[in-house]
Every structure is written in C-alpha cells, then in structure tokens.
Copies of this chain bind each other. A is one copy, B any other.
C-alpha cells in the first residue's frame, strides 16, 4: 500500500534537542518543519532542510502559535487576521531558508493547537488557507481528514491532503482525542502499524448522527517526539509495504 508519510521535524531549539530527525528522515516522504514560533530556530531549520534534501524528502512549513514554552499546544486567542499574517510570516521564513538550500516548499501543515482549532473552527481554517493561497497556490495544505481545515482549503482552490493519525485515538466525529485523555496517544508499534494499514485501506471512520462515513487519508502522520518513534515508524512502514 502506498501513501505519503509525514512527520514533524526540526523541533529542536538552540541547545535543546528534541525528536529523532536523523533516524526518521530516511523513512518518511514529507517533513513538516517547525518555523521558530513553537519550536525550531533558523539554524535548526537549515539543518533540517538539508537533512530532508539529502533523503529526498519533501519539505513543508509547520507554523504554530508563538509559544515555545507551551510547544504550540496551548491555544492563544488571536483573530483570524492575526493568524493569517502569522502563518504567512512563518511560511516565508522557512521558504527563504529552504530556497537558500535549493529546496522549494511542497506543503503547509499547521501545528498543535492551531491545527486542532482549524479542524473545527472555519474562520481560523480560512485564515490559514488564505495565507497559503496568497503565498503560493501550488502549495498543498495538510489538514485533519474530513475537517474544516480541508473544507477551507478546498474552498480556496488548494489541493488538500486529508491526514490520518495511526498513533492517535479518535473521537466519534473524527477529531483527535485530547492528549490529556488516556488512550489519546498509542505507544505500541504493532498497534500503530495495524492502525496505519486499516486507516489507509478503509479510511477514517466518521460517525455523524446515525450515519457512518469513511474518509480516505492522503497522508499519515508519525510523531517524532515519543521515545519509541523509530520502532513505531519501522513497524508502520513494514506493515504498509507488506500490504
């Protein structure tokens, strides 16, 4: 089974090292690179672009809220207008560092609280999609499968990738369970691998009222910031290759 595999990358900052970028980069096809607001700094961004290039991995901007301490996982009460310009700022910053390395951006995927809010808040979703369109309408927008993020992107004429999360528990409405709840993050490589296969083949289950729908994902997200990320990623890839 063939599907794009994306991973958040470049989440180190200054002396602080986070993630398993070296080991994971060769296994994925799209890297979402932090842009210095919730993680990353210009040096880390450059190194991550270089690592992606070396591994023929596509590079995307991974904009987040300006909150290094909260790692972009705490929402900040910004207006859609503020979000739009903030996203443009971060896309541009990464695009410049990438261009200096001879790399063009492939996609944009919002991070953390921004991602989760955009999935359910159409004004925020539109602000993000607008930022992408105004920067470059050929960029692909990654968003939670079947969510407002995708709707807003499609409305703006963007090619959108419905994203699935084999490592995360889902709510019945196909949003992600809060990280604060038990079962929100799955740690077993085997379980994640099976999820990945199932999501890819069957799609993501969405229960609205008494209707059940399935949304086929265009990309699967693997997380780089958990201790056995490398094992998980290996298991997942083998499972998909096995078919």
Contact = CB atoms under 8 A, between A and B. Distances in A.
Interface of A: 13-16, 18, 36, 41-43, 45-46, 66-71, 74-78, 81-82, 85-86, 88-97, 99-100, 113, 131, 134-135, 225
A49 to B, nearest CB: 10
Nearest to A70: B14
Number of copies: 4
A100 B45 contact: no
Given A14-B68, A46-B85, A99-B135, 8 more contacts: A13-B16, A14-B71, A16-B18, A42-B85, A42-B89, A70-B77, A90-B93, A92-B94
B13 A81 contact: no
Contacts of A69: 13-14, 41, 66
A85 B70 contact: no
A18 B131 CA distance: 27
A88 B97 contact: yes
A83 to B, nearest CB: 9
B135 A96 contact: yes
Given A70-B78, A76-B76, A36 B89 contact: yes
Nearest to A86: B42
A36 B75 CA distance: 21
Contacts of A75: 76-77
Given A69-B14, A82-B43, A93 B100 contact: no
Nearest to A74: B77
Given A93-B93, A95-B92, A85 B43 contact: yes
Contacts of A134: 99-100
30 contacts: A14-B68, A15-B71, A15-B225, A16-B16, A36-B89, A41-B69, A42-B82, A42-B86, A42-B89, A43-B81, A43-B82, A43-B85, A45-B85, A66-B69, A67-B76, A70-B77, A74-B76, A75-B76, A76-B77, A77-B113, A88-B97, A88-B100, A89-B93, A89-B96, A89-B97, A92-B95, A96-B135, A99-B134, A100-B131, A100-B134
